[in-house]
Amino acid sequence: MDFRKPLRPRHLWTVSLLLGIGLFLFALISLTTPAQAAPSHQDDKPSNDFCLACHQEEGVDLTLGKESLPVTINPTQFGLSVHGEEGIACVDCHSNISDYPHPDVKVKNVRDFTLGFLDTCKECHEEQYNKAHNSVHQIAFDEGNKNAAVCMDCHNPHTQSRLTGKTSGELTASARLHIPETCAQCHSTIYDQYKTSVHGNALTEEGNTDVPTCIDCHGVHDIQDPTTVSFRNSTPFLCANCHTDAEIMDKYKISTNVLNSYVADFHGTTVKLFEEEFPGQPTNKPVCTDCHGVHNISKVDDPTTGIALKDNLLGKCQRCHPDATSNFPDAWMSHYEPSPENFPLVYYVNLFYKFFIPAVLGGMIVFIITDIYRRIINRVKGVKHS
């Protein structure tokens, strides 16, 4: 055929027919192919947009044994999460996903599916993983309790916001506010006590982040058993982390002398010495929590349980001193140093003795020195004592 010559009508019709058939087949193939085809090479890394094309749809569930796990991901929430901000790809965690349809998940239930990602967290968070591996939660897990808390129970990988400041590294105020709610997923009874306490009420109702949350007393990833003797004996120093901080305590007009006054007291001295000489051995002397409570700590002036009220304090004392009378609490000065405002009688008696005792001892020393001096002079002069 001479392509320099114009096509005849018959040839033109043939070319048009072939072109039409080709376009029809192309359209047919396009319609029968999934909208998001998987990458043609196994080494290609699917983008988050590729995954979210399906997983942003409502009602997407994964059947695991007799249970169903919702796998719908909100793109906006994920984008605002710390993983989204850091550009973490879906397949960085779901590393077994590289094609569609996905490989079968062979687990009995949702919990087993969750536990399968433990080592995935370790890839980026090795320090936290190792600490958690030595915690009371891990001990419970090793003993067969599959419901013991793991990474994903506290940190939802698809919605977890940044917990610490980018530059400061300090826990953000927002993160502190939500800590008790996170722990409440397993420890709901304790949370109910905490949120009505002086600490919990200030945090949950007033948004006051000066008060301690769960992690301030128990730690974060390396949480230890709080029922041990060593934990109980260390309670005064645990409480002192906040109660000796002048910057915080001055805001609420609370004495920072709590630790010193406790350690100087018979109770505290005994606990401190006992822990130093016989660490891990129980003592029957009270620590902070025996008088103030644990998660249910109330204001000291609370009419029902506050130990600033004499009758309430007497009840605390009688736990160890059953024969204590109504005058027994008068010997306790409530962690305050005597001053003209607090316990003035004790203050002025102490002040008197601060001058009186040195004066008496000083006078005796002067008397002795002058007597020795006179004896020496008399001996030199040969004067005999009568």
> What ranges do the domains of the chain cover?
38-147, 162-223, 224-337, 342-386
- Confidence tier at 354 by pLDDT (50, 70, 90): very high
Q: Residue 270 has what pLDDT?
A: 87
| pLDDT at site 36 | 44
Mean of the pLDDT values across residues 39-52? 72
Type of residue numbered 171: L
Task: Return mean pLDDT, the chain.
Answer: 87
Q: What is the DSSP string of 243-297?
A: HT-HHHHGGGT--S-HHHHHHHSHHHHHHHHHHHHSTT----S--HHHHH-SS--
CA-nearest of 220, 248, 260 to 130 is 220
> Residue 335 and residue 342: Cα distance in Å, rounded?
11
Is the bond into 101 cis (omega within 30 degrees of 0)? yes
344 pLDDT above the threshold of 80: yes
What pLDDT score does 179 carry? Answer: 96
Gap between the Cα atoms of 156 and 78, Å rounded: 10
- pLDDT band, very low/low/confident/very high, at 343 (cuts 50, 70, 90): confident
Angle at 252 between CA 259 and CA 348, to 5 degrees: 60
Distance CA 347, CA 177 (A): 42
**At residue 39, does pLDDT exceed 70?**
no
Long-range contact set of residues 97-100: C-beta below 8 Å, sequence gap at least 24? 97/46, 97/51, 98/38, 98/39, 98/42, 98/44, 98/46, 99/38, 99/39, 99/42, 100/34, 100/36, 100/37, 100/38
From the CA atom positions of the chain, what is the Rg in Å? Answer: 38
Three-state DSSP at 128 gives helix
Q: What is the mean pLDDT of residues 149-173?
A: 93
Q: pLDDT-based confidence at 33, cuts 50/70/90?
A: very low
Q: Which residues pair with 97 in a beta bridge?
A: none
Predicted model pTM: 0.75
Residue type, 133: H
Q: How confident is the model at residue 21 (pLDDT cuts 50, 70, 90)?
A: low
The C-alpha atoms of residue 184 and residue 191 are separated, in whole angstroms, by 6
CB atoms within 10 A of CB 137: 20
Please give the average per-residue pLDDT across 15-27, as a whole number: 61
The count of residues in the chain is 386
Contact (CB, 8 A) for 158 and 152: no
Residue 239 in this model has a pLDDT that exceeds 70? yes
The pLDDT of residue 84: 95
Nearest to residue 107, comparing CAs of 70, 61, 65, 67?
Answer: 65
CA distance 268 to 262: 5
Please tell me the distance from the alpha carbon of residue 346 to that of residue 353, in angstroms, as a whole number: 11
| Helix axes of 266-277 and 235-243: crossing angle, nearest 10 degrees | 120
Q: What percent of the chain has pLDDT over 90?
A: 59
